[in-house]
């Protein structure tokens, strides 16, 4: 199995819970998928934050 190094992380506040998103080092195809996934997470966080305020 290939070793995946953890990279920088973001901590989000969702419904009072602290959620930590860790960015990992991937090869190019996986990176593109992970970027899309993280974008979805960020959008979800943003919309849930807006809904609360």
pLDDT tens for residues 15-38? Answer: 787 877 766 555 556 777 878 888
In a domain, 20, yes or no: yes
In a domain, 1, yes or no: no
In a domain, 13, yes or no: yes
Higher pLDDT, 47 or 25: 47
The pLDDT value recorded for residue 16 is: 80
- Give 2's DSSP letter: -
The pLDDT value recorded for residue 1 is: 47
In a domain, 48, yes or no: yes
Alpha-carbon gap, residue 38 to 30, rounded angstroms: 12
In a domain, 19, yes or no: yes
Alpha-carbon gap, residue 2 to 48, rounded angstroms: 35
Question: Which is nearest to 33 in space by CA: 44, 43, 23?
Answer: 23
Domain span including residue 24: 6-52
Number of domains in the chain: 1
In a domain, 15, yes or no: yes
In a domain, 29, yes or no: yes
Global model pTM greater than 0.95: no
């Amino acid at each position: 199995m290939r070793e995946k190094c953890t990279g920088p992380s973001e901590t989000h506040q969702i419904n009072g819970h602290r959620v930590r998103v860790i960015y990992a080092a991937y090869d190019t195809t996986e990176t593109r998928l992970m970027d899309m996934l993280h974008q979805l997470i960020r959008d979800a966080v943003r919309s849930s934050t807006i809904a609360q305020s």
